[in-house]
Amino acid sequence: RKEVEQDPGPFNVPEGATVAFNCTYSNSASQSFFWYRQDCRKEPKLLMSVYSSGNEDGRFTAQLNRASQYISLLIRDSKLSDSATYLCVVNRPGANNLFFGTGTRLTVIP
Protein backbone atom coordinates (compact mmCIF):
# COMPACT_ATOMS: atom_id res chain seq x y z
CA ARG A 1 0.00 0.00 0.00
CA LYS A 2 1.31 3.48 -0.85
CA GLU A 3 2.18 5.85 1.98
CA VAL A 4 -0.05 8.56 0.51
CA GLU A 5 -2.91 8.05 -1.91
CA GLN A 6 -4.71 10.71 -3.90
CA ASP A 7 -7.27 10.73 -6.68
CA PRO A 8 -5.20 11.92 -9.66
CA GLY A 9 -8.20 13.63 -11.27
CA PRO A 10 -8.33 15.58 -13.45
CA PHE A 11 -10.82 17.90 -11.84
CA ASN A 12 -12.23 20.41 -14.32
CA VAL A 13 -14.28 23.10 -12.60
CA PRO A 14 -15.72 26.46 -13.69
CA GLU A 15 -14.41 29.71 -12.27
CA GLY A 16 -16.02 30.52 -8.96
CA ALA A 17 -16.71 26.89 -8.06
CA THR A 18 -15.77 25.21 -4.81
CA VAL A 19 -13.64 22.11 -5.15
CA ALA A 20 -12.36 19.64 -2.57
CA PHE A 21 -9.52 17.15 -2.70
CA ASN A 22 -8.93 14.32 -0.28
CA CYS A 23 -6.00 12.09 0.36
CA THR A 24 -5.35 9.18 2.70
CA TYR A 25 -2.16 8.18 4.44
CA SER A 26 -1.18 4.74 5.66
CA ASN A 27 1.03 5.36 8.71
CA SER A 28 -0.93 6.38 11.78
CA ALA A 29 2.30 7.62 13.39
CA SER A 30 2.73 10.43 10.86
CA GLN A 31 2.78 13.83 12.52
CA SER A 32 3.29 16.45 9.83
CA PHE A 33 1.01 17.10 6.91
CA PHE A 34 1.17 19.54 4.05
CA TRP A 35 -0.37 20.51 0.74
CA TYR A 36 2.02 21.51 -2.01
CA ARG A 37 1.13 23.08 -5.33
CA GLN A 38 3.00 22.22 -8.52
CA ASP A 39 2.59 24.06 -11.79
CA CYS A 40 3.37 22.31 -15.05
CA ARG A 41 7.12 21.66 -15.42
CA LYS A 42 7.86 23.61 -12.24
CA GLU A 43 8.97 22.59 -8.76
CA PRO A 44 6.49 21.90 -5.95
CA LYS A 45 5.81 24.86 -3.65
CA LEU A 46 4.39 24.72 -0.15
CA LEU A 47 0.74 25.81 -0.18
CA MET A 48 -0.08 25.22 3.45
CA SER A 49 0.61 23.05 6.44
CA VAL A 50 -2.27 21.02 7.84
CA TYR A 51 -2.99 21.12 11.56
CA SER A 52 -5.22 18.92 13.68
CA SER A 53 -7.52 21.84 14.38
CA GLY A 54 -7.85 22.63 10.69
CA ASN A 55 -6.56 25.82 9.18
CA GLU A 56 -7.60 28.38 6.65
CA ASP A 57 -5.64 30.69 4.40
CA GLY A 58 -7.87 32.94 2.34
CA ARG A 59 -9.85 30.77 -0.07
CA PHE A 60 -8.02 27.61 1.01
CA THR A 61 -9.02 25.40 3.95
CA ALA A 62 -7.14 22.29 5.05
CA GLN A 63 -8.51 19.64 7.40
CA LEU A 64 -6.95 16.62 9.06
CA ASN A 65 -8.89 13.59 10.28
CA ARG A 66 -6.48 11.45 12.28
CA ALA A 67 -9.02 8.76 13.10
CA SER A 68 -9.69 8.08 9.42
CA GLN A 69 -6.19 9.07 8.32
CA TYR A 70 -7.25 11.48 5.66
CA ILE A 71 -6.43 15.05 4.75
CA SER A 72 -8.55 17.41 2.73
CA LEU A 73 -8.08 20.66 0.85
CA LEU A 74 -11.02 22.90 0.00
CA ILE A 75 -10.69 25.71 -2.51
CA ARG A 76 -13.50 28.25 -2.60
CA ASP A 77 -14.25 30.69 -5.41
CA SER A 78 -11.81 29.00 -7.80
CA LYS A 79 -9.64 31.24 -9.95
CA LEU A 80 -8.03 30.44 -13.28
CA SER A 81 -4.69 30.81 -11.53
CA ASP A 82 -5.56 27.91 -9.21
CA SER A 83 -5.04 25.51 -12.13
CA ALA A 84 -2.18 23.26 -11.01
CA THR A 85 -1.43 19.88 -9.48
CA TYR A 86 -2.00 19.66 -5.73
CA LEU A 87 0.26 17.27 -3.86
CA CYS A 88 -0.69 15.75 -0.52
CA VAL A 89 2.42 15.32 1.65
CA VAL A 90 3.00 13.40 4.86
CA ASN A 91 6.14 13.00 6.94
CA ARG A 92 7.84 9.68 7.45
CA PRO A 93 7.60 8.98 11.18
CA GLY A 94 10.93 9.10 12.94
CA ALA A 95 12.64 10.54 9.88
CA ASN A 96 13.00 13.87 8.19
CA ASN A 97 11.90 13.04 4.69
CA LEU A 98 8.42 13.52 3.30
CA PHE A 99 6.16 11.24 1.29
CA PHE A 100 4.35 12.83 -1.62
CA GLY A 101 1.14 11.66 -3.20
CA THR A 102 0.89 11.45 -6.98
CA GLY A 103 -0.99 14.74 -7.01
CA THR A 104 -4.46 15.82 -8.09
CA ARG A 105 -4.67 17.82 -11.28
CA LEU A 106 -7.05 20.81 -11.19
CA THR A 107 -8.09 22.85 -14.20
CA VAL A 108 -10.28 25.90 -13.64
CA ILE A 109 -12.24 26.74 -16.76
CA PRO A 110 -13.37 30.27 -17.70
Partner 1 sequence: GAGVSQTPSNKVTEKGKYVELRCDPISGHTALYWYRQSLGQGPEFLIYFQGTGAADDSGLPNDRFFAVRPEGSVSTLKIQRTERGDSAMYLCASSREGTGYTFGSGTRLTVV
Does the protein bind partner 1 through residue 10 (CB under 8 A)?
Answer: no
Closest CA to 62 of 71, 38, 70: 71
CB of 2 to partner 1, least distance (A): 10
Q: Which stretch binds partner 1 (CB under 8 A): 13-21, 53-61, 64-72, 97-105?
A: 97-105
Residue 102 region by backbone torsions, left for phi larger than 0, else alpha for psi between -120 and 50, else beta: alpha
Sketch the per residue contact string, 51 through 90, with partner 1: x for CB under 8 A, - otherwise. ------------------------------------x---
Number of residues that bind partner 1 (CB under 8 A): 20
Neighbours of 106 (CB within 10 A): 21
- Decide if residue 108 touches partner 1 (CB under 8 A): no
Q: Of the two residues 82 and 101, which places its CB atom closer to partner 1 in the complex?
A: 101
List strand residue ranges (DSSP E) for the chain, in order: 4-6, 11-14, 19-25, 33-38, 44-50, 55-57, 60-65, 70-75, 84-91, 98-100, 104-109
Positions touching partner 1 (CB under 8 A) are 4, 8, 34, 42-46, 49, 87, 92, 95-103
